[in-house]
Structures are given as structure tokens and as C-alpha cells.
Structure 1
């Protein structure tokens, strides 16, 4: 048995782009319209002729937007599943109600609910793939829609033939009909004597996409170029090739410029980033936002331009907020991205007496451990080789008890080890390039209300260990893995 023309072309697309593998479980999204019905029948035919042993599931989401017509669509797809002896998955969602509650458009709400349904179905039936019936016509409509709405070069690449269902997901979304034209699909269904449902709203110029399909594309074909759809499709493919190359370069720059990467925080070296071509700077930001699962639809060109302008400016650190409660701050050649509020109110560190020897909680940052050691049992040279920035030793005889731990105060000074004279902590933080957000979260050990150790930064000359030291006070600060964030109220002290 041989494949007919359209199924053969779709099979070639599947092979070229590695859309499915033998024995895959595939959720086929079927609305009842011609594209989805053709997709289902073509996949079923390919499966039988090529003996791929695919497990196909028919999934239908009833949007409840067209009254009895929506119910009839669902029943049509149910009957189709029976005719083809394939499992049927149905879900009803009141799109209008959800759109009203979330204040989103009908189109955006329907799209979001569809993809949620696909994910639920794939997880329930252990499917690796979601197949959708987007065609070449859909790709052209999307291309023009994005031009009108103001997309960048990445968006103008059109609809991808294959992509993860969500960022980081192993479930693949595939579009086997993406290079097939709707007229070919209608012709195929006619030859197969296959019926399908027609949504009357598709022929009403109520939405922008409908206007593009019904008015703009015919205008371009009739008055400018009858081959315009094919040329636009070719342009999409060229842009996709360009985008793939640029994306690979951007990923390498992300890797090379990344200083820190966590679930809720991303930091890049902006001195390195600013030396890259502008288009790659833009794509690097996009890669980072995608990796942090930020909705890119809410990020405009003006947002990208503002960030890229920011990283070239010198002077005091700056911060700003993007849509979706996403925050950035830039200082000392580093750009930090986070989804946690950077600037929520925070309490200054309260002054707490240090338990010597013993453990002193330093809420909410961590705890301070103090020990008293005899100099005979302590090797300063060995200690220097292994010490971290969060531990320090002092000459116990030079310490006047009690000592305390607190946050910084205006006017605090210290005589840094190895330097003559005193230095304001404010200037010390600037010289050491301590980020503004960390300054009020830096614990300070004080004696008679005078700093003797800015933890993680420096200690005071007056309490250092010398050749005459007999007993050593060792302090170790154990920082909690997750500490509070800083706020604008805190940064106003800088």
C-alpha cells in the first residue's frame, strides 16, 4: 500500500524534522475543522502504511463559546474517534468566564487553556508528543500578524515545526502540516470523502487574524503579487535559518558571560556582554528571560532597549522592574535578573550580644560561632591557608567584652588590616564593589559600638593576632542558604 500525494509529503516532513519515532504516543489535537481532521487521518494512514506502531489519542477541548455549535463539534469528534477506533479525550472549559475573570482576550485565554489541556492529556496518557494541525496558511497569517503587532526577527521566523511544549519540557509539540497549504488539505479530504466541521466565526472579520486571512492576504495577492504567500513562506524559512545560527551564538555568549545562575536569580557580566554585537545582546537577554520562564509576550522592544542602554552606563547602580513582577539591577559590571521582589521592606539587623564561646543566631542571615583557642594549639600560617572570608581570628586580650553583631550605621568607620588610618564603611563598600543590595545584609562585629570585623570584607588592625598573642578568639559566620532580599527602603542609605 502506497501513500497518496499529501500523506507522502507529510511523511517526508516528519522524517526531515524528526517529528515522531516508532512506538511514540501522540496526542492529536482535533477541533473538528478540516486541518485537524486531515492531520488525524494522515497520521493514522502513515502509521498503518509505514508500520510505525504509534499510539494515537484524539483530544478535543470544548471552549463553550458557540453554544450548541460547540457541543456539536465535540460530538462530531467523539463520533470520529469511534469510527477510527481511537481513544477520545474531552474537556469542557468556559473560556468567556475565564477571560472575564483574568481580563485577558478571548484568543489568548483560549490558547492558554488549550495548551494546559494538551499538557494534562500528555501527562495522563504518558504521551511524548502533541500534534497540531497548523498549516502553511496559518504560518503566513501568523507572520503578518506579528509584523502588524510589532515582532522582532525571532518572531518573524513564523511558527516552528517542532518545539518543547513548555520551556524545559520533554513533551514535544509538532506541526506535520506546516508546509501544506489549506487548499491541498481541502482537496485531500474531498478525495477521501471525509466530512469536517466549519466554524462560521472564521469567516467574520471580528478578530485581527480573521481580517488578515479574509482581507489583507487577498488584497496582497490581487493587487501586489499573486505568489505572495509562497514568497512569505520562503522568507519565514530563511529567517528561521538565520535565527538558528544567531541563537547558537547567543547561547554561547550566555554561557561565557554568566556569573551566577539559580532558580530565582541570574547574573551576567555586562562588560563582556556590551562588547558583543547588538543583535546578540538582545538574543542573550531573551535566552535568559526564557530560561527563567518569563512571559516574553509582555516584554517589548523598549524593555530590551532600556536594559541594553543601562549596561553601557557608568555610575551608581540602578534597578528597574519589568512586566510580570520581574526585577533587574545593574552595578559594578553585573546585571542581575530575579523574579523575587528585590525591593520589599526589610528589617535592619538588630544588635545582638555575641555569646563567647558559643553560637549566636543572627536573624535572618545565619549564625555566628565563637571559640577561644590557646596560641600553642593554633598555627596562624596553617590557618591562613584554609580560612574563608566568613571566618576571622582576633587577639583575645585586645577584645573588650561584650562584643556585638549588628548591621551598619551611618558614620561607621574601621581601620582595615594592613592600612593606616580609618575608612568609612560606606567608602569601603564602594571600593570593594559590594552590591548595594548586600550592604544592609552584611553583619558587622562591633566592640564599644566600633566595627572590628565587617564579615566577609575586612577586620580592624587594632584586634589582629600578633607575636605577643596568648589566646585567640575565632569567629565563624555560617550563612543561611537562602536569605531575605533587599528593598528600596534599604538602598536609600547608600
Structure 2
């Protein structure tokens, strides 16, 4: 069977962007409308013609928004699946009820439920690909929609032809028809004598997306630029190239300003960050939000601007909250970003290897200076008389390098100088009446992850200076 013009063009798109590989299991999202029906038929034809041995699975979510029409959509797609001898997945969801419960629009609730359905289906069938029927028209409408609503450079890229289905998934979401115009699809279906369903709600102009499609774009094409949709797509392609470069630069820069990263938090050196251009800072925060899986649609230009302005300020620590339950604390050149509320007293001290000799920053509290000297150059009695609580000397010969500094951990214990046995840090803090809200801010020097000096509190017996000591390690902590 020879491929027709549309199928041949779509195959070239698939090949160019490496959307599909032989033997892939593909969830094909089919609403019953012309775009998704064309997608299914084209993929079926390509699979047969090119002998790709694809496992196509038809998936339909019944939104239950149009009563009998919704039921007939599902029956139509089931019949189409049977005609093509393909598996069929159907899920019924009361989108109207969900929209009320989640206090969001019908459109947003429907979109969320569709993607939940595709994620569930891909996991159930171990699918490597989810294919959707977005077209060039959809892309142009999306770009214009975002301009009207307000967007940044990333939003102007439009709809991606391929992306991960979820941040932690190997399953790809693809759109093989993204460079195909809707009039080409209608002509294809007409030539194939293929039926499809019409969703009358797509013509209701009470929805902004429909007003853009049926009123605004025709107005601009008729009175200003007959090639307007192509102009929008050209804009998105230019910005895509631009943004790829900026994103690449931002990712490289991000690695130089990160102090610590975890699944739900980042600690950033804002001194280094603020030296970057504003556009690179913007893309750095965009990358962070992406990695933390914060809903980008909730972020406006004002939010990005607020982060950049706050991190450039000096003075007392400031805490503020952003959409997606994102909490930020900025203090003394350090920016803390977390998904959970962050109190200053609970700011974690990231583990850092101590430079010996040298100066080691301890975020967020200060820095640690390490010096090595011969014991004969030291008068122990004189040192004990003048030393402060934030400096200590240790027997270098009893230390296994490297040693690190970090915050306390549950279960940490030490053998305090002059005592027998070990004692938990928690009990030592209680005995010394150190307030609970201050304990996480106390740096702890560790060897093999065991505390040897709780700064300002006590050192461990095993590293104490003795008459046999030959070289000493002097550690001095300076608060910022």
C-alpha cells in the first residue's frame, strides 16, 4: 500500500524528529474529531507501509460534558478501533464535577484529566510513546493565546513536537501532525471517505481559545496579514533556536552557582547569581522550576522579576512565597528555594569538605579557617587562656582526611572532651540549654560522618591534643 501525500509528509516529520522507533508501543489519544482520527489512520498506514511493527493502542477519555453526544463519541471510536483491529481504552470522568471541586475552569480540568489518563495508560501498557493530534493551527492559536494572556520567551516557542510525558518518565509525548494544517487534514479525510465526530463546544465563543480561532485570527488574516498563522509559527521557530542557546548557557551557569540541590530544594549562591545577566538569571530560575516540577503556567513575568530583584538585595534575611507552594529565603548571599515553608532556624547546613589548609565557606552561617602547625610552636596553657569558643585545636595525627562540616543529623553523638562514653548531641544541647530553634544552625565538624567538633560546644576525646601530638590542626570559625 502506497502512502498518500499527507501520510508521506507525516512520516517525514516522524523521521526528521525521531518521534517513533520500530516496535514502539504507542498510546494514540483519540477524541473522535478530525485531527485525532486523521492521526490514528495516518499512523496505522505508516505502520503497515513501513513495517515498523508498532503496537498502536487507541485511548479515549469521555469527559461527560455533552451528554448523549459524549457517549456517541466513545462508541464511534470503539467501532473505529475494532475496524482497525486495535486495542481500545476508555475512561469516563465527570470533568464538570472535578472543575467545581478543584475550583478551576472546565478547560483546565479537562486538560489535567486527559494527561492523567495518558500517564495511567502509558504505565498500564508500558508504552514508550503517547501520540496526540495537535496541528499547525493549534500551535498558532496557542502562541496567540499566550501573547494575549501574557507569556515569556519560553511560552512563545509554542507547542513542542516532542517532550517527556512527565519529568521522571522515559515515555515521550509526540505530536506528528504539528506541521500539518487543518485544511490538509479535512481534505485527507474527505479523500479517504473517513467519518469523524464534531464537538459543537469547539464553536462556542464563550471560550477564549474558540474566540481566537473563529474570530481573532480570521479578522487579522482578512484585514492585516493573510499569512498570519505562518508568521506566528515562524516566530516560534526563531525563539526556539534562541531559547535553546539561552537554556544551554543557563544550565551551565546553574551548576556554578548551586551550593546544594535536592528533590524539593535548592541552595544557591546569590552573589555569583547576581553577576549574571538578567536574561540568564531568568532562564536559571526557569530551569529550577522545571526540575522541581512547579506548574509554570502559574508563574508570570512579575514572579520572575521578584525573584531576581530579591536576590540582588542586601541586608536582613527575607522570606517570600510564590505560586506552586514555593518558598524562598534570601540571606547573606544565599538563596534557599523549597517546596515546603522554610524557617530561618531550620535552614540546613549542606555538607562541605574542609579545605586544609584554607578557608571553607559554611552556608549560611560563616566560614571555617584551617591551619596546620608544629606542636612545639604552641603554648597549650597560653592557648587555653586566650582561645574563644569558636576556635579549637585538634591532633592532626589522629585525623583521617578528608573531614567535613555540616549540620547535625538525628542520632549524632560525640565523646565530649574530659568525659567517658558517648552522648547524643540532642542531650548535650539540652544540658547546655541551647534553644531548639538554634540547634540546626550550629555547624558540626565530622570525620567519617562522626562528629569530632560541635562548633562552640565541645570536641571529641579522640582528636584531643596530647603530649604525643606532633602536629596540630587549628580550626577557627567566623560568623558572617
Determine if the TM-score, normalized by the shorter chain, exceeds 0.5. yes
Alignment of 1:24-43 (within 5 A): 24-43=24-43
Q: Residue in 2 aligned with 1:235?
A: 235
Unpaired segments ≥5 residues, structure 1: 347-378, 398-402, 413-424, 426-436, 446-452, 470-493
Structure 1 residues 15 and 388, CA gap change in structure 2 (3 angstroms): closer
Distance in 2 separating the partners of 1:103 and 1:324: 15
Match of 1:2, SS state, is: coil
Match of 2:166, SS state, is: coil
Unpaired segments ≥5 residues, structure 2: 347-393, 407-413, 421-425, 445-450, 469-479
Q: Residue in 2 aligned with 1:125?
A: 125
Q: Report deviation, 1:388.
A: 5.4
Q: Residue in 2 aligned with 1:405?
A: 428
Distance in 2 separating the partners of 1:140 and 1:264: 35
Alignment of 1:61-460 (within 5 A): 61-343=61-343, 380-384=395-399, 386=401, 389=405, 394-395=417-418, 405-406=428-429, 439-442=438-441, 456-458=454-456
Q: Report deviation, 1:443.
A: 6.0
Query: Could you say what the CA RMSD is over the residues aligned between the two structures, in angstroms?
Result: 3.1
Match of 2:417, SS state, is: strand
- Whether contact under 8 Å (2:142, 2:158) holds in the other structure is yes
Q: Residue in 2 aligned with 1:358?
A: none
Structure 1 residues 110 and 405, CA gap change in structure 2 (3 angstroms): same
Distance in 2 separating the partners of 1:466 and 1:189: 87
Structure 1 residues 235 and 409, CA gap change in structure 2 (3 angstroms): farther
Match of 1:206, SS state, is: coil
TM-score by length of 2: 0.78
Match of 1:406, SS state, is: helix
Structure 1 residues 33 and 460, CA gap change in structure 2 (3 angstroms): closer
Structure 1 residues 145 and 459, CA gap change in structure 2 (3 angstroms): same
- Whether contact under 8 Å (1:407, 1:441) holds in the other structure is no
Deviations 1:402-444 (A, max 9, x none): x97237999x9xxxxxxxxxxxx9xxxxxxxxxxx98442469
Match of 1:38, SS state, is: helix
Match of 2:21, SS state, is: coil
Deviations 1:128-153 (A, max 9, x none): 10000000000000000000110101
- Whether contact under 8 Å (1:265, 1:337) holds in the other structure is yes
Deviations 1:432-458 (A, max 9, x none): xxxxx984424699xxxxxxx996434
Q: Residue in 1 aligned with 2:473?
A: none
Distance in 2 separating the partners of 1:304 and 1:109: 26
TM-score by length of 1: 0.75
Structure 1 residues 143 and 466, CA gap change in structure 2 (3 angstroms): closer
Structure 1 residues 408 and 263, CA gap change in structure 2 (3 angstroms): farther
Distance in 2 separating the partners of 1:118 and 1:468: 71
Structure 1 residues 177 and 384, CA gap change in structure 2 (3 angstroms): same
Structure 1 residue runs of 4+, over 4 Å off? 384-393, 407-410, 442-445, 463-469
The farther-off stretch of 214-223 and 288-297 is: 288-297
Match of 2:266, SS state, is: strand
- Whether contact under 8 Å (1:133, 1:177) holds in the other structure is yes
- Whether contact under 8 Å (2:136, 2:177) holds in the other structure is yes
Q: Residue in 2 aligned with 1:48?
A: 48
Distance in 1 separating the partners of 2:105 and 2:273: 37
Match of 1:176, SS state, is: coil
Structure 1 residues 217 and 18, CA gap change in structure 2 (3 angstroms): same
Structure 1 residues 21 and 50, CA gap change in structure 2 (3 angstroms): same
